[in-house]
Amino acid sequence: MSRDVLLTLSGRWLETGRRQVFLLWLMAQFSQIGYCEQQPGLSAQQQQESVAARVNGQPILVREVTSQLRRLHRRQPISAVAAPHMKTEVLRQLIQRRLVQLYLHGQQLAASQQEVAVAVESLKSRLSERKVTLEDHLVRQHMTATELRADLAWRIGWRRYLDRHLTEANLKQYFKQHVRDFDGTTMRVAHILFKCSPDVPAKQQALLQERAAQLGRRIRAGEVSFAAAARRYSDAPTARQGGDIGVIQRNEPMPDAFTKVAFALEAGQVGGPARTRFGIHLIQCLEVTAGARKWPEVRSQVREAVTRYLFGWAADQQLRTARVVWTGVIPQPISAVDVGGINDRPDKTDSK
């Protein structure tokens, strides 16, 4: 992959509960696979082996999703309202991890059997220092030996991929091209909301999406002002003030799918439609206040963002040729963001 590939997008974020989802993303990369999902009418064995999705025919089990959710819940409680959405997001992350693994293999970055064997012996040595056998460790982690080897192989390949692309030059260039995401820039924005919960039928979602897109075109053409349209069409409490919601930062208080669109705008411009868990938004930037943070102050945040970007980019590359099937046991998500006129993929790639 060309170094230039890094430089076209902002980092990828999920839209619900940033802290929860970031923990989820970390676990999808680095935690082991576990067990157990209770489903009425199924035997214990069937419950364990229920397939949530397949990537190129290889299953991702419901128990893997449930295990990740339990680990996430131990770190930060998940509300009953958020749980279904989080389960969907966990599965989406696991699918992306499988796609990244396929990409690493295709780029000859995957771990060899010899490397995995060395990693297993290294783990045994570390466990021995604590008077723990590998077998006991597997029991405690609810893993099989095969699953352990797969997890170690993932870690080796992923680290190799990051080492290749997380260079100082790439990080600095990424910061320069996405400076608003890191320097503390704030924006005053307005929005028009078409309420649409994630459980609304897809056909109704599509109709609302088109309704929002048509209104956006009318606003951009000057047929109606954004404020007037907000007062007439918005389902948000801010409708009476022309949609004005005040000042926002890149990472709060609005969902990331919203702020990602907003922070691509200049004062007076209109963006969207953008989807969040609240519905479908049109967004107008009213005012921009530039931030003052410099590269040395935000290096760690930039590295984190580029790491997430690399994960998503590799998954997207593999998705072009992979076959991903959601079985329906866990609902498939709506698109996190759907933005007219903003490219969400690199303009060009180089697999070298």
- pLDDT tens for residues 312-344? 999 999 999 999 999 988 888 654 333 232 223
pTM, 2 dp: 0.72
- The CATH number for 3-176+300-326, chosen from 3.10.150, 3.40.50, 1.10.4030, 3.40.190, is 1.10.4030
For the structural domain made of 186-289, what CATH number should be given? 3.10.50.40
Q: How far apart are CA 158 and CA 134, in angstroms?
A: 23
| pLDDT at residue 54 in the model | 95
Closest by Cα among 344, 239, 247 to 282: 239
Per-residue pLDDT tens for 209-223?
999 999 999 999 999
Span 235-254, average pLDDT: 93
Domains 3-176+300-326 and 186-289 share a fold: no
Return the SS3 of 14: coil
Domain range list for the chain = 3-176+300-326, 186-289
Q: How far apart are CA 327 and CA 86, in angstroms?
A: 17
Identify the band that residue 29 occupies on the pLDDT scale cut at 50, 70 and 90: low
